[in-house]
């Protein structure tokens, strides 16, 4: 298969230069579901670009009759973030104009409870594909209203243009996968939504985080929450319905690097998901998938972040991926208190211990921390 490559203008810079998005579309012979993958929404999170490249190479070797539906791939989906620098480091996590996290800006279809109930009642006798199409039409109609203010003479901030473009690419998708990494150093895991545990297995990754608390404005949430809301509404009306619509955020290791092993795990995860979902029909030995019991599935509300109680230097920190017990020392802070503020001028060492047992899933890159700065996370 050869992908159709589309370049979409995104932003004209003050210098007159332009930034653009490039979309690689693989279309199968038969109509089917649409898969949307993007990478690098946060500017320092690079691994997903290499995953997408390997997927493109793999797909390019397949025949169109082996793909049912279409797969849209958008590497480097935030060029402004990818190119941002401070010395040799990539900040790239926040919109430089507003300070907003790039993954908290997205628009979500949020009908009132009354409107949603009226809609669900009107569809109660319809089959699932019809309900899905009618609901998509409502989401699309609501989304399209965002266009006029963007074109008005008064204009809108860049982040609103950006989200409109990015979400317009996946509004009609069935499966959305957003490839991230830690913004520091992290393990490989994924986030999933409730009632999607069965599909979660298909990624064959040892850790999955159920989103039981929403950040608000995240890309996966914005896509998925309207469908969960409709499923809930139907349940209240006594009809059990689950749409074959899913969104995932994968966290592929550490920022500002591309680790070959992590790329391989990401590629394997996405490939297996597409194969098992029937989007791709490729004769292959069935992958040994972990049972739900073998996966560590925890809720996002159980993730505990540790912030430095005093300013100083982090030392003797437990390694990423280690299991720790409650009460076990996680790290030390070496401080050099200044005499104007402290009684002692001698350096101090503070031990910081775990409040709960768990796996160290993420650690800060910088070992110099101001008071209240992030040091590590446990789940």
Q: Which is nearer to Zn ion, 90 or 272 (by Cβ)? A: 90
Q: Near Zn ion by CB under 5 A, which window of 154-162, 174-182, 322-330, 362-370?
A: 174-182
Query: Contact between 33 and Zn ion (CB under 5 A)?
Result: no
Shortest distance, CB of residue 180 to Zn ion, whole angstroms?
3
Distance in angstroms (rounded) separating the CA atoms of residues 237 and 229: 13
Q: Which is nearer to Zn ion, 249 or 272 (CB)?
A: 249
Smallest distance, Zn ion to C-beta of residue 45, A: 5
Residue nearest to Zn ion (CB): 180
Instruction: Out of 23, 26, 28, 42, name the contact with Zn ion by CB under 5 A.
Output: 42
Closer to Zn ion at the Cβ: 111 or 377? 377
CB of 352 to Zn ion, least distance (A): 26
DSSP 3-state assignment of 246? strand
Residues 6+ apart with CB under 8 A from 90: 43, 44, 81, 82, 84, 255, 256
| 123 vs 254 by CB, closer to Zn ion | 254
In a 13 Å sphere around the CA of 331, the CA atoms on its Cβ side amount to: 28
Stretch binding Zn ion (CB under 5 A), from 172-180, 207-215, 266-274, 275-283: 172-180
Nearer to Zn ion, 45 or 362 (CB): 45
| Least Å from the CB of residue 42 to Zn ion | 4
For residues 329 to 368, the per-residue mask of contacts with Zn ion, x marking binding by CB under 5 A and - elsewhere, is: ----------------------------------------
Cα angle vertex 258, ends 59, 205, to 5°? Answer: 65
CB 83 within 8 A of CB 47: no
Token pair of 90 as six digits: 């990539």
Q: How far is the CB of 251 from Zn ion (least distance, A)?
A: 7
Q: Which stretch binds Zn ion (CB under 5 A): 61-69, 124-132, 176-184, 346-354?
A: 176-184
Structure tokens of 198? 């069965």
Q: Choose between 123 and 183: whose C-beta lies nearer to Zn ion.
A: 183
- Least distance from C-beta 360 to Zn ion, angstroms? 19
Question: Which range of residues in 52-60, 117-125, 148-156, 178-186 is near Zn ion by CB under 5 A?
Answer: 178-186
Q: How many helices (H) and strands (E) does the chain have?
A: 9, 18
Closest among 43, 41, 39 to 90, alpha carbons compared: 43
Count how many residues are written for the chain: 379
Shortest CA distance to 349 belongs to which of 318, 315, 377, 317? 315
- Our finding on whether 163 is near Zn ion (CB under 5 A) is no
Closest distance of CB 77 from Zn ion, Å: 11
Told to check if 180 binds Zn ion by CB under 5 A, we report yes
Smallest distance from Zn ion to CB 15, Å:
28
362 DSSP assignment: E
How many angstroms separate the CA atoms of 52 and 49, rounded?
5
Cβ-contact 250, 206 below 8 angstroms: no
Residues 6+ apart with CB under 8 A from 243: 128, 131, 132, 227, 230, 231
Give the strand pairing for 18-27 and 30-39.
unpaired
> Which tokens is 230 given?
């409709």
For the CB of residue 154, give the shortest distance to Zn ion in the complex, in Å: 31
Residue closer to Zn ion, measured from CB, 92 or 312: 92
Instruction: Rank residues 47 and 123 by Cβ distance to Zn ion and give the closer one.
Output: 47
Of residues 75 and 312, the one with the C-beta less far from Zn ion: 75
Distance in angstroms (rounded) separating the CA atoms of residues 39 and 365: 21
Please say which residue, 34 or 180, places its beta carbon nearer to Zn ion: 180
Say if residues 137 and 77 touch (Cβ distance below 8 Å): no
Total residues interacting with Zn ion, rule: CB under 5 A: 3
CA 139 from chain centre, in angstroms, equals 21
Minimum CB separation of residue 222 from Zn ion in Å reads 15
The residues binding Zn ion (CB under 5 A) are 42, 45, 180
């Amino acid at each position: 298969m050869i992908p159709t490559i589309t370049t979409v203008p995104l932003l004209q810079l003050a210098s007159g230069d332009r930034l653009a998005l490039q979309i690689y579309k693989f279309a199968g012979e038969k109509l089917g579901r649409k898969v949307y993958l993007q990478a690098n929404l946060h500017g320092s999170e690079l691994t997903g670009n290499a995953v997408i490249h390997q997927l493109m190479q793999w797909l390019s070797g397949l025949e169109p009759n082996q793909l049912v539906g279409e797969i849209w791939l958008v590497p480097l989906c935030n060029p402004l973030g990818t190119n941002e620098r401070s010395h040799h480091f990539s900040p790239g996590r926040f919109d430089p104009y507003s300070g907003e996290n790039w993954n908290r800006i997205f628009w979500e279809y949020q009908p009132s409870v009354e409107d949603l109930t009226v809609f669900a009642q009107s569809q109660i006798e319809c089959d699932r594909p019809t309900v899905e199409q009618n609901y998509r039409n409502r989401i699309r109609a609501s989304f399209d209203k965002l266009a006029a203010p963007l074109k008005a003479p008064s204009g809108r901030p860049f982040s609103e243009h950006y989200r409109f473009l990015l979400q317009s690419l996946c509004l009609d998708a069935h499966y959305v996968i957003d490839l991230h990494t830690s913004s520091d150093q992290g393990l490989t895991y994924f986030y999933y939504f409730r009632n999607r545990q069965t599909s979660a297995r298909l990624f064959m990754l040892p850790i999955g985080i159920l989103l039981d608390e929403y950040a608000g404005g995240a890309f996966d949430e914005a896509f998925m929450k309207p469908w969960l809301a409709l499923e809930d509404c139907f349940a209240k009306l006594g009809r059990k319905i689950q749409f074959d619509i899913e969104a995932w955020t994968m966290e592929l290791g550490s920022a500002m690097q591309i680790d070959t092993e992590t790329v391989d795990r990401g590629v394997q995860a996405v490939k297996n998901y597409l194969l098992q979902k029937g989007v791709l029909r490729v004769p292959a030995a069935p992958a040994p998938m972990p049972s739900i019991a073998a996966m560590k599935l925890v809720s996002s509300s159980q993730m505990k972040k540790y912030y430095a109680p005093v300013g100083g230097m982090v030392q003797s920190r437990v390694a990423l991926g280690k299991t720790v017990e409650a009460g076990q020392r996680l790290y030390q802070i070496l401080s050099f208190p200044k005499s104007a503020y402290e009684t002692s001028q001698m350096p101090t060492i503070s031990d910081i211990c775990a409040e709960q047992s768990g796996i160290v899933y993420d650690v800060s890159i910088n070992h110099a921390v101001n008071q209240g700065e992030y040091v590590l996370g446990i789940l």
